[in-house]
Structure 1
Amino acid sequence: MTNLKARSTAPADLEGGLASLRGDCARMAPRWTAPGHPGSPAVPPSRINGVDVPARSARLLDAMSEYGD
């Protein structure tokens, strides 16, 4: 026997706009759970001593116009 009352997991309107997306998210939100603990604390800038970048990577970035120019 076929269950005619089964719910579809697909969004109702695949070509919808922002309102449709917000509606889909609002319907899914009760199923999501927040993490029980916050992420790791930020490191204060005074504890950051420097970053080692391999010369090959530095040359690659220097050759890219949006980074080197």
Structure 2
Amino acid sequence: MTNHTVHAASAPADLDGDLATLRGDCARMAPYWEAPDRAAAAPVPPSLIHGVDVPASSARLLDAMSDYGD
């Protein structure tokens, strides 16, 4: 988290920060994070793939959504 300080009384403090603040926080923390070893994904044989069951209410919801967003 960023330690916010207010330098000017005329501007309201942005307590949530912005993208630049978030990127700076992440850059400072990156040396302390460990990335797990990447495991290679094994191919799945087609015989193990069986369709997906979708509840009717979810299918109606998805059917009513636009293909490219609004």
TM-score, length-normalised on structure 2? 0.50
Matching of residues 44-63 of structure 1 within 5 Å: 47-48=45-46, 49-53=49-53, 57=55, 59-63=56-60
TM-score, length-normalised on structure 1? 0.51
Matching of residues 27-42 of structure 1 within 5 Å: 27-35=28-36, 37-42=37-42
How many residue pairs end up in the alignment?
52
Q: Distance in 1 between matches of 2:16 and 2:25?
A: 13
Structure 1 residue 39: deviation in Å?
A: 3.1
1:3 match: none
Q: Distance in 2 between matches of 1:18 and 1:28?
A: 15
Structure 1 residue 52: deviation in Å?
A: 4.6
Q: Distance in 1 between matches of 2:20 and 2:52?
A: 46
Which sections of structure 1, spanning at least 5 residues, go unmatched? 1-9
Structure with the bigger RCO (C-alpha within 8 Å, sep 6+) is 2
Query: Percent identity among equivalent residues?
Result: 35
2:63 match: 68
Cα distance 1:52–1:24, how it changes in 2: closer, same or farther (>3 A)? Answer: closer
Structure with larger Rg: 1
Q: Distance in 1 between matches of 2:20 and 2:53?
A: 45
SS in 2 for 1:26: helix
